[in-house]
Structure 1
Amino acid sequence: VCRCDRNFVYCNERSLTSVPLGIPEGVTVLYLHNNQINNAGFPAELHNVQSVHTVYLYGNQLDEFPMNLPKNVRVLHLQENNIQTISRAALAQLLKLEELHLDDNSISTVGVEDGAFREAISLKLLFLSKNHLSSVPVGLPVDLQELRVDENRIAVISDMAFQNLTSLERLIVDGNLLTNKGIAEGTFSHLIKLKEFSIVRNSLSHPPPDLPGTHLIRLYLQDNQINHIPLTAFSNLRKLERLDISNNQLRMLTQGVFDHLSNLKQLTARNNPWFCDCSIKWVTEWLKYIPSSL
């Protein structure tokens, strides 16, 4: 049924409804994508194949996070299924999982059991793009470095969502339903290692306050409804190199709003309804005194 090539087993695109029995020890990568495998199709013996570290299961017919995956799997591709629920028990089996792709499923906030992701204690990258989440799941693993929850229905981020994520470096929440009112005060201040934050295509009226400035290099705020940037909005972002505020509703900028951005290399501000009178003249003066590389 499958083709073996050294440490790789190719079982993809074979109309399988279950994982074949007898996956041998020594196999490291298992290709099972684009089949018709459902949740009943994972034999218990699969969990004990210790050598498998990468599994491709995208494009199948899963409606729950599967049980009995190889116990030492580090990279898991489950995108383009119909997964709706994620249990703690399923993730508790995968203590070495580092990278989890769950894009393009049907996962809702109520479908994620409380603390389910925290069971995956080694998880570094979590991709939940294109699902049905209405809020960021609470109880994410503390060592997470990258989180993508873009293209969901998130309207609320609680102050608990990122509380322990002191290792998170990249956060993408593009294409959701976020307003300033839906983001709890101090939500982002816990993210002390954050280097890139993208909150594109939402409904913000001003930049989120309390952004952590220690490491933040890239900040993407384009395609919102931003009509005002408070004077202190960027005052602690001294490491910031890229800022995009294009495609918003900005008519003017308060003098001094960029004064603390001493490392800025790229500022994009196009497609705003700028009101060009004397009150914006300071921008041309500011541009004279910043590095020519901007």
Structure 2
Amino acid sequence: MRQKNMDSYLGGRVRLVLVMAALPLFTSNKACPSACHCSAQGNVGCSGDSITDTPKQLPLQTYTLQLHATSMNVIHEHSLENMDLLTRFSLMLSRLHTIHPRAFNAVPKLKSVQLSINNLASLPARVFSPLTTLEQLHLNRNQLATITVDMFEGLVALDDLDLSHNKLSSLAPGAFSGLVNLTTLKLGNNFLQRLPPDSFGSLTKLKELIMCYNKLERLEPGIFDGLVNLEYLQMHYNRIASIPQRVFWSLRSLKNLTLSTNQLQSVPERSFYHMPNLSKLTLYNNPLLALPDQLMGHMPRIQEFYLFYTNLTTVPGNLFANMSGLHYLNLHLNERLRELPADLFCCIPELQKLSLKSNNLQELHPYLFSRLTTLSILLLNENKLKELPGNIFQGLGLLTTLDLKNNELNHLPEDIFQSNPFLKVHLSNNPWNCSCPIRGFARWVSRNKEAVVDNADTICQSPRYRALRTLDSLRHEEWNVCDVTTVTPSRVPTPQSSTTDPTTARPVAIPTTSQATESASTLRRVAIPTTSQTTESASWVRPPTGVPPEEVPSSYDASSPFYDKVVLAEPSEFVHHNHHNGWVYVWFLPSNAVLAGFLAFGHVLLVATGLFLVLSAMYAIHRLNGRVEELRVELAPTEG
């Protein structure tokens, strides 16, 4: 019986606890307005055009009130009354244009106010002053044109202030002077042209300052001197044309600095000294003409550096000497950058990606990349490289991606990639000359087809008999013709007068003339048998099909089909040759598309003119015959 009573007692207590726990939920749901959603944690969210003021009869324990996409255009003096526990208030994406000067007097415990995406053009003086515990104030995406000196007076606890995407053109001196605990200040996407020298003097705890997308033309000396804890400074997309000397020297905690897309033509010497914590620096899209030899201080933690879209023709050899921790370097899209110092990359052993694409580079020093032992991505595409040293990639054992497309390379050394076992290379859109000098590299391509990403577009442009063929399609036996022994030019009797043994026939140098005016010192090697007689003991071997005679090796003898013929590797439009005094003379006109077109047009014009004259003569004769017949008819009666 005692046990039964005990169970009954415990069961009643449990039911009572459950009822008490459910009571706030029941109460809050019961008091929640129809256009709102209320949670047991005290969060209320309301939206819709039907809301023209803060809803009444909200749950007593309302800590957060979020109004979104409403028709509310005024925060009245009594709009926030009876919300003693309110700590977060937001009115966003509405039509708010007016705030009563005492609107926030009723809610002194607010820690966050968000009034983003509204139509606020001005604010009453000290409207936020009662909010001494306010930590977050977002006024972004409004129509604010000015910031008065008393607008944020009394906000000693403010940590986050967002004024971005407004119409601010100036700041009152000392506008932020009382915000001693501010850590984030966003002023981006406004119309600021200049800042007072003491704009940020009291913001000693500021860590993030965003001023990008404004119209700043200059920075005042000492403007950042008080920002000893600043970590992020963004000033890209402005019109800054000059930087005061030592303007960044006080920013010893800075991690991220963006100066890209401004009007800088030069940067003062030692501008980036005393920044040991910097990890990212951008200077791209500035019309820089030159950089001083002493520019970068000790930056062991820097990982990213962007320097592109400039007018630089070269850079100092020690530019990266103090950036030992650099991982990503983008030195590309500089149309005038034509040379790089040999030791430019000497001191960045941890570099993983290097982009030099779309510059004006024509040659590279053999040891330019020799110390980049951790490099995995190297972009050299879209330059004007004509050749590369055989050892330029030596030691880059971790290189996985190499882009060489869109250059002026016509051949590469055979062993240029022997130190890069994991390499994937791009080679397309280069004027590859698939004659003997490229033999070794073509063999490498054939043996390592999986290493060439764009094999199908790696195409020979010369000589003509191999044009449009891919490098990997050139067969091994085709290169046998490259083992040619050079023969000293000599006079060779013509076949009609020669009695030499045919087995001694070899490729010989024959003097030629071009358009009957070139000197006889211009030589071509052609295979001409020295006699028309053959013997059964002679061993005639036909050269490989499609190989021009000047590449026929000495191990081949000329066969009878080549008797008394001159074979040209690159035939011209018009060729004529004859024998004279033991020599073969060749006259030809070069294969010139413009000249050929002109001659063809002239030929067609002459034919058309001749045809016109013939037809005109026939027509004239016809008319003359007709007139004669008419006269004959007219004179016939008279004669009768």
TM-score normalised over the length of structure 2: 0.42
CA displacement at 1:202 relative to structure 2: 0.5
Alignment of 1:127-276 (within 5 A): 127-137=210-220, 138-140=222-224, 141-180=227-266, 183-207=267-291, 209-212=294-297, 213-248=299-334, 249-276=336-363
CA displacement at 1:19 relative to structure 2: 3.4
Question: Is the aligned partner of 1:55 residue 2:141?
Answer: no
Render the CA deviation track for 1:38-88: whole Å, top value 9, x for unaligned: 33x235252231332112111222122253334322111111111122234
Separation in 2, partners of 1:2, 1:178: 50
Separation in 2, partners of 1:158, 1:122: 23
Q: CA RMSD in A?
A: 2.2
Going from structure 1 to structure 2, the CA distance change for 1:2 and 1:101 (only over 3 Å counts) comes to farther
Structure 1 residue matching 2:174: 3-state secondary structure: helix
Task: Give the residue type in structure 2 aligned to 1:85.
Answer: S
Separation in 2, partners of 1:228, 1:76: 42
Separation in 2, partners of 1:188, 1:62: 35
Separation in 2, partners of 1:61, 1:115: 25
Task: Give the residue type in structure 2 aligned to 1:55.
Answer: L
- Equivalent residue number for residue 17 of structure 1: 97
Separation in 2, partners of 1:122, 1:229: 37
Which is richer in helix?
2
Task: Give the residue type in structure 1 aligned to 2:324.
Answer: R
CA displacement at 1:211 relative to structure 2: 1.0
CA displacement at 1:286 relative to structure 2: 4.7
Structure 2 residue matching 1:119: 3-state secondary structure: coil
Structure 2 residue matching 1:91: 3-state secondary structure: coil
- Equivalent residue number for residue 172 of structure 2: 87
Q: Indicate if the aligned counterparts of 1:205 and 1:228 stay in contact, CA closer than 8 A.
A: no
Larger Rg: 2
Q: Indicate if the aligned counterparts of 2:108 and 2:130 stay in contact, CA closer than 8 A.
A: no
Task: Give the residue type in structure 2 aligned to 1:121.
Answer: T
Structure 2 residue matching 1:267: 3-state secondary structure: strand
Q: Indicate if the aligned counterparts of 1:48 and 1:71 stay in contact, CA closer than 8 A.
A: no
Separation in 2, partners of 1:204, 1:53: 41
Aligned positions, number: 287
Going from structure 1 to structure 2, the CA distance change for 1:15 and 1:187 (only over 3 Å counts) comes to same
Going from structure 1 to structure 2, the CA distance change for 1:233 and 1:45 (only over 3 Å counts) comes to closer
Going from structure 1 to structure 2, the CA distance change for 1:9 and 1:241 (only over 3 Å counts) comes to same
Separation in 2, partners of 1:18, 1:90: 21
Going from structure 1 to structure 2, the CA distance change for 1:267 and 1:206 (only over 3 Å counts) comes to farther
Q: Identity rate of aligned residues, in percent?
A: 21
CA displacement at 1:272 relative to structure 2: 0.9
Separation in 2, partners of 1:264, 1:154: 30
Going from structure 1 to structure 2, the CA distance change for 1:260 and 1:71 (only over 3 Å counts) comes to same
Structure 1 residue matching 2:310: 3-state secondary structure: coil
Question: Is the aligned partner of 1:71 residue 2:156?
Answer: yes
Task: Give the residue type in structure 1 aligned to 2:339.
Answer: M
Q: Indicate if the aligned counterparts of 2:322 and 2:347 stay in contact, CA closer than 8 A.
A: yes
Task: Give the residue type in structure 1 aligned to 2:165.
Answer: E
Structure 2 residue matching 1:126: 3-state secondary structure: strand
Greater relative CO (CA pairs within 8 A, separation 6+): 1
| Structure 1 unpaired stretches of 5+ | none
Going from structure 1 to structure 2, the CA distance change for 1:27 and 1:115 (only over 3 Å counts) comes to same
CA displacement at 1:123 relative to structure 2: 1.0
Q: Indicate if the aligned counterparts of 1:142 and 1:167 stay in contact, CA closer than 8 A.
A: yes
CA displacement at 1:8 relative to structure 2: 2.6
- Equivalent residue number for residue 185 of structure 2: 100
- Equivalent residue number for residue 119 of structure 1: 202
Render the CA deviation track for 1:9-57: whole Å, top value 9, x for unaligned: 1222332223350361333221111222233x23525223133211211
